[in-house]
Structure 1
Amino acid sequence: MTASLQAPPGTTSLAPAPAPPSGGDPLRPPSDGRRRALRWLAGGAVLLALAASSAIGLDLPTLVAGGEDVANLLGRMVPPELSDPARIATLALDTVLMAFLGTVLATLLSVPLAFLAARTTTPHPAVAAVARGIITFCRAVPDLVFAVLFVRALGLGVLPGVLALALHSVGMLGKLFADAIEGADEGPREAVRAVGVGRVRELLNGVVPQVVPAWVSAFVYRVDINLRTSVVLGFVGAGGIGFALQDALRGLVYPKAMGIVLVILVLVAGMELLSVAIRRTLLAPRNPPYGRDRAVRWAAGGAAAALLVVSFVRLDIDPLALATSVPDLLAVAGRTFPPDLTTLGPALWAALLQTLAIGLSATGIGVLLSLPLGLLAARNVAPHPLVYGAARTVVLVVRAIPELILAVVFVAAVGLGPVAGAVALGIGSIGFLGKLVADAVEELPAGPAEAVRSVGGGWWKVLCSAVLPQAMPGIVGSGLYLLDVNIRTSTILGIVGAGGVGFLLFEAVRTLHFQVAGGIVLLVFVVVLLIERLSGWIRAQLS
């Protein structure tokens, strides 16, 4: 990714397909190897999703029965209530501050790692390989896994949650920061080098000014992501509003649980809208640009510094504790070595296969639901403004509810097992893929659609002949990225009883079998890394 982050960081670009050669049909891509690859890929994906669904017992009758159970549960949750608004407000504030502080710490760790990992600034290729390996590890191991281990090392509270958010965020921020550095223009750096300054000044004056806009955009977007994550850290004792939600669900006080879910919904939706506004304010050029932009950015920097101080004070975290906690974290990490892959026997491999099946099934459900909803949420495709508004609202609402909370609801409705996890992840995918599809379709060139309309083509003809042929390669790429994300997320759903290896991991940590936990974390890392590499390779073949 270059220094300009037009699409949300960490997502796959849904750019339109290249224009066909001259003389071909301008509305349909040529029937070449790329098109055949799309067909084979789509067919193979459908077969894999069906096989995975069958393996975990997910079929249409189960979905219908599950829908009825969820409807009954939702009926027991209304009207929502907040029995202690002051406590919920305090926990919500703590959740926001945890997300912000975790992202700040991740940024401080990611900047030096990015310079070491970027090909254009690393002192040696071996150093770049090590730095990239650290970044990949942080991205591959889910944040809730870090939180489980850190709670065991440091005890209950917000500090383990903040550190877990920070470490996992390095996986995204480190990669985006390094990609931005590699995409920076070499001219300014060479000019600074020509005046004889040292290497540090060369980087500060020749590289940093170019990449700051991309870094700011990535930082703001990561705060948005971390807020979604931090609301569920309380499920493992790592602070935040998730603890209150878990307490309400455990006590079967469903109206109270619904009240907390609505608070979370408002909190996350508000943060998403705020992050969009902040990115536009900080990154959009103005006329005249210099004076006002400089004032806005200084004000934003001052506000961020003040919020950082508030975060330490409100969360009661001693900044020195960030350093003094390192030995405890290393001690717990050391107890996971050597990883034990034998004690659990066949149960471990069965759980791992179940995790993969959950991720594949959820991706199939997500694509099936997201494609029509995403098309209706595109302003240039929706047949009516009311349809557009309703579709966009559904996407926003689903994006605001973390998948783990959806899993808790489905477990409570349909019982323990992988079906609850697959359905929860599938519905959660609507918010992710639906937004990508809608935003991408809105950015497609208008020419092909206007050409179809000019010859009398209706809405359906425009969609099938002009919109889908342009958007489909990018949709396939985003579907592959969704599979990567879903498999990573499915590794933790077992913590709430929704199948997969998460339950075994949680039990291993709870019973102090750290070497078993280390073996599970190692498997999660390898599986996610392989899926990430495979999906990246396939996307590269389609680009």
Structure 2
Amino acid sequence: MAEPGHAGPGPARPPVRPPVRPPLTARHARLTAAVLLALAAVVTSAVSLDVSLTAFTEGAEDVGNLIDRMLPARLDEPGRIVDLAVETLLIAVLGTVLATVLSVPLAFLAARNTGPGRLVRTGARGVITFCRAVPDLVFAVLLVRAMGIGVLPGVLALGLHSVGMLGKVFAEAIEDSDPGPREAARATGAGRLQELAAGVLPQVVPAWISLFVYRIDINLRTSVVLGFVGAGGIGFALQDALRGLVYDRALGIVVVILVIIAGMELLSIGLRRLLLTRPVAGRAAGATAPRDTVRVTAPWSRERIARFGSAALLAAVTVHGLFALEIDPREVFTSLDDIADMAGRMLPPDFTAVGGALTTALLETLAIGVVATAAGVVLSIPLGLLAAHPVAPHPLVYWGARATILGVRAIPELVLAIVFVAAIGLGPLAGAAALAVGSVGFLGKLVADAAEEIDPGPLEAVRAVGGGWWQRLSTAVVPQVVPSLVGSSLYLLDVNIRASTVLGIVGAGGVGFLLFEAVRTLNFAFAGGIVLLVFVVVIVVERCSGWLRRQVR
């Protein structure tokens, strides 16, 4: 009789063992619950907005008619448009410089590994979150009312709002830094400031520079919208063309914006390649120098030359911008009383002006942000990975993906909302569609940048054993990109929630219409209530983002 598990004569087969699965830990359970909760939120939001393909297909003819009216692009008064474009670029640069100056100390105070205490960290994070919660257009409207029409309110609005992003990502870069160099500096008896300068700054500066350049092109698009409320730049000309239904002229202005952003993109790519290039061992350390030579200064490598050259160029552009735009920094201090008076009118906040309509509008805003973020993530991940050098299978694919991301990023969400309102009609679905498309330009670039910053070791190991493109992508690239992708996606969610408050000005749904009606009618207490509600929502998303980042790290 054959033994159990043995069908007859011959060598016995080894027993079949079930596949090995990782144990279900509390961390895995929490992540699974978070994913299921996110899916439920997306489905619920999509149902509440009545998302359907028929709404887009039925509006295809209207979009076609609108595009016909836009083509061919026309540029009237090219000299004036160029001057306004240069003004817009300078506003974006000055606003980003101001934000960086404010964000660096806030980031060190807000980071868990450098903040001096929990109370200080909480306060710094509160300031950063508040700047992110208040839409840039709201900052601009309030500052224009306090200081008058001009470019200075636009610079201040961009600077204050940009602190919300730069302060957050600067702090996250500090928290992700290697503690080893800092501990080594501490062991030599260095003071706290020396410890941070020698142990933390060299690690985070390359990422900060990349984020700075990226924030400039975000502010380029934002400064276009600020022109709608009299804060300077090319936005006034774009608003004039759109208000007059001269769409071919509007497209010509958008093309000018695209050219400027393309230049910033090329600059960003060049800087990233220089800063992410690792020096050859020995050569950078001066291995060819005579043995009795002691190098007491750092070598002038390409990276160091690029940093000093970029810093000198930025300083020159900043000084030129102050003179060209006739900005007197002292005006900020002389206007503090007017700014404080305008801010004081928003307190105490009023939530009763429109009754239950505020709750409905706020829920609609949340639904717009969730649906737009989910659609943006689905569209951005493949496009962003193909726009990264380590992943792109061919240079044509790389440049095609980069060009697509760049083209989408050049179009302000407000213009996209106008297009979708023309196609779908007034309502939140048009706003969700506009933000979903705009998210490709935002998240696609962040995914591409994260994929280019991965450790090349695992990628080379998979390639060495003969792994194909899919194996390299799934085993060496995606696992390293996931932590950054989670944080960027959640940050995109609060970006879209805030952006939806701006799109309401053109009838694209959400709480934005109520907010700008409150500002227009000088009901600042009600506007303060809306801003406070958005602030609470952003804080909740911020907490979820931090928790998920710690789980996937």
Q: Is the 8 A contact 2:459 2:477 kept in 1?
A: no
Q: Following the alignment from structure 2 to structure 1, what is the Cα–Cα distance between the partners of residues 532 and 410?
A: 30
* Letter of the 1:486 counterpart: N
Q: Following the alignment from structure 1 to structure 2, what is the Cα–Cα distance between the partners of residues 316 and 347?
A: 44
Q: Which residue of 289, 297, 300 maps to 1:291?
A: 300
Q: Is the 8 A contact 1:370 1:434 kept in 2?
A: yes
Stretch of structure 1 that moved more, 299-308 or 199-208: 199-208
Cα shift readout 1:66-114 (whole Å, capped 9, x = no counterpart) = 3332232112100000011111111111111111111222223234434
Corresponding position of 1:373: 383
2:262 equivalent to 1:262 = no
Q: Is the 8 A contact 2:109 2:116 kept in 1?
A: yes
Q: Which residue of 519, 522, 525 maps to 1:512?
A: 522
Corresponding position of 1:399: 409
* Letter of the 2:234 counterpart: I
Corresponding position of 2:341: 331
Structure 2 CA distance for partners of 1:307 and 1:382, relative to 1, 3 Å: closer
Instruction: Point out where structure 2 has 5 or more consecutive residues left out of the alignment.
Output: 1-16, 287-297
Q: Following the alignment from structure 2 to structure 1, what is the Cα–Cα distance between the partners of residues 350 and 367?
A: 23
Cα shift readout 1:417-457 (whole Å, capped 9, x = no counterpart) = 21111000111122233344455566483479659966xx8
Cα deviation for residue 502 of structure 1 reads 1.2
2:136 equivalent to 1:143 = yes
Q: Is the 8 A contact 1:376 1:391 kept in 2?
A: yes
2:257 equivalent to 1:248 = no
- 1:77-476 matches, within 5 Å, as 77-118=70-111, 124-178=117-171, 183=177, 185-189=182-186, 191=188, 193=190, 212-213=205-206, 215-281=208-274, 287=284, 290-292=299-301, 296-377=306-387, 386-438=396-448, 443=454, 445-446=458-459, 475=485
Percent identical: 61
Find the structure with the greater CA-based Rg: 2
Structure 2 CA distance for partners of 1:334 and 1:300, relative to 1, 3 Å: same
Q: Is the 8 A contact 1:188 1:207 kept in 2?
A: no
Q: Following the alignment from structure 2 to structure 1, what is the Cα–Cα distance between the partners of residues 18 and 315?
A: 57
Q: Is the 8 A contact 2:254 2:410 kept in 1?
A: no
Structure 2 CA distance for partners of 1:513 and 1:363, relative to 1, 3 Å: same
Corresponding position of 1:15: none
Q: Following the alignment from structure 2 to structure 1, what is the Cα–Cα distance between the partners of residues 185 and 42?
A: 50
Q: Following the alignment from structure 1 to structure 2, what is the Cα–Cα distance between the partners of residues 85 and 521?
A: 39
Cα deviation for residue 245 of structure 1 reads 1.1
SS at match of 2:159: helix
Cα deviation for residue 261 of structure 1 reads 1.0
Q: Following the alignment from structure 2 to structure 1, what is the Cα–Cα distance between the partners of residues 173 and 373?
A: 30
Cα deviation for residue 188 of structure 1 reads 2.6
Q: Is the 8 A contact 1:148 1:506 kept in 2?
A: no
* Letter of the 2:343 counterpart: A
Cα deviation for residue 59 of structure 1 reads 1.1
Q: Following the alignment from structure 1 to structure 2, what is the Cα–Cα distance between the partners of residues 341 and 111?
A: 35
Cα shift readout 1:336-393 (whole Å, capped 9, x = no counterpart) = 0000011121111111011011111112322332344345545666666544443332
Structure 2 CA distance for partners of 1:139 and 1:86, relative to 1, 3 Å: same
Instruction: Point out where structure 1 has 5 or more consecutive residues left out of the alignment.
Output: 1-22
Q: Following the alignment from structure 1 to structure 2, what is the Cα–Cα distance between the partners of residues 372 and 271?
A: 23
Corresponding position of 1:534: 544
* Letter of the 1:310 counterpart: H
Q: Is the 8 A contact 2:349 2:527 kept in 1?
A: yes
Structure 2 CA distance for partners of 1:470 and 1:24, relative to 1, 3 Å: farther
Q: Following the alignment from structure 2 to structure 1, what is the Cα–Cα distance between the partners of residues 486 and 115?
A: 34
> Which structure is higher in RCO with an 8 Å CA cutoff and minimum separation 6?
1
**TM-score (ref. length: structure 1):** 0.83
Q: Following the alignment from structure 1 to structure 2, what is the Cα–Cα distance between the partners of residues 35 and 123?
A: 33
* Letter of the 1:431 counterpart: G
SS at match of 1:291: coil
**TM-score (ref. length: structure 2):** 0.81
SS at match of 1:491: helix
Cα deviation for residue 153 of structure 1 reads 1.6
Q: What is the root-mean-square deviation of aligned Cα atoms in Å?
A: 3.5
Cα deviation for residue 186 of structure 1 reads 3.9
Cα deviation for residue 280 of structure 1 reads 4.3
Q: Which residue of 514, 521, 525 maps to 2:531?
A: 521
Cα shift readout 1:208-255 (whole Å, capped 9, x = no counterpart) = 667655544443333233223222211222111122111111100010
Q: Is the 8 A contact 1:189 1:207 kept in 2?
A: no
Q: Following the alignment from structure 1 to structure 2, what is the Cα–Cα distance between the partners of residues 362 and 193?
A: 48
Q: Is the 8 A contact 2:271 2:306 kept in 1?
A: no
* Letter of the 1:261 counterpart: V
Q: Following the alignment from structure 2 to structure 1, what is the Cα–Cα distance between the partners of residues 118 and 319?
A: 38
2:48 equivalent to 1:55 = yes
SS at match of 2:220: helix
